[in-house]
Amino acid sequence: MRRLPGKPGGRRWRSLVAGALDLPKDVVVNVPRVTVIGSLQVTVENHRGIVEFTPEKIRIACGEGAVEIRGENLALRAILPEEIVLDGRILAVSFIA
C-alpha cells in the first residue's frame, strides 16, 4: 500500500487526494476561486469576508491570505456566504499571502 506524503489533513495531502479523485482543488484545499470578466466584474468564491473596502480597493480574506482588487468605482453586487461579486473598472487582482 502506498503512503501519501505529508500529514493527513494537510494542504499538500488534500491537494493530492483532490487530484486522485478528480475533485476541484479550490474546494478541497480551501483556496479562493477568482473569476474575472474583462475589466468589468470579479467574482471571488471560497472567501472569509471583506477586510477593506473603498471605491478604489477591496481586500477579501481567503484561506491562507487575501485577494486584493484595485480599480475605479468598485461596487459590491452580491455578498453571499460562498461568493462575492464586484463591478467597476477592474485594474488589478493580487493574491496576498
Domain co-membership, 77 together with 36: yes
Domain co-membership, 44 together with 89: yes
CATH of residue 42's domain is: 2.60.40.2000
* Per-residue pLDDT tens over the stretch 73-94: 999 999 999 899 999 999 999 9
Mean pLDDT of the chain: 84
Domain co-membership, 16 together with 48: no
pLDDT at 47 over 60: yes
Residue 78 belongs to what domain range?
A: 31-96
Q: 0.85 exceeded by the pTM?
A: no
Alpha carbon dihedral 68, 50, 53, 97, in 10-degree steps, equals -30
Domain co-membership, 83 together with 39: yes
Looking at residue 58, its pLDDT comes to: 98
Domain co-membership, 15 together with 38: no
Domain co-membership, 47 together with 60: yes
Separation between Cα atoms, residue 83 and residue 32, nearest integer Å:
10
The answer to whether the CB of 15 falls within 8 A of the CB of 25 is yes
Please tell me the total count of domains within the chain: 2
